[in-house]
Amino acid sequence: MGLSPYINAVIIIQLLAVVIPQLEALKKE
């Protein structure tokens, strides 16, 4: 149970790392 918050944080960070560049690309267009 103790590792769940850490694992969730890692997953969220990885998702943001993928989504943010895509959002920036859309803004440029």
Q: Does 2 score more than 90 pLDDT?
A: no
Answer yes or no: pTM beyond 0.95: no
Tell me the per-residue pLDDT of 15-28, one tens digit each, with 9 for 90 and over: 999 999 999 999 98
> Long-range contacts: 13-19, Cβ < 8 Å, 24+?
none
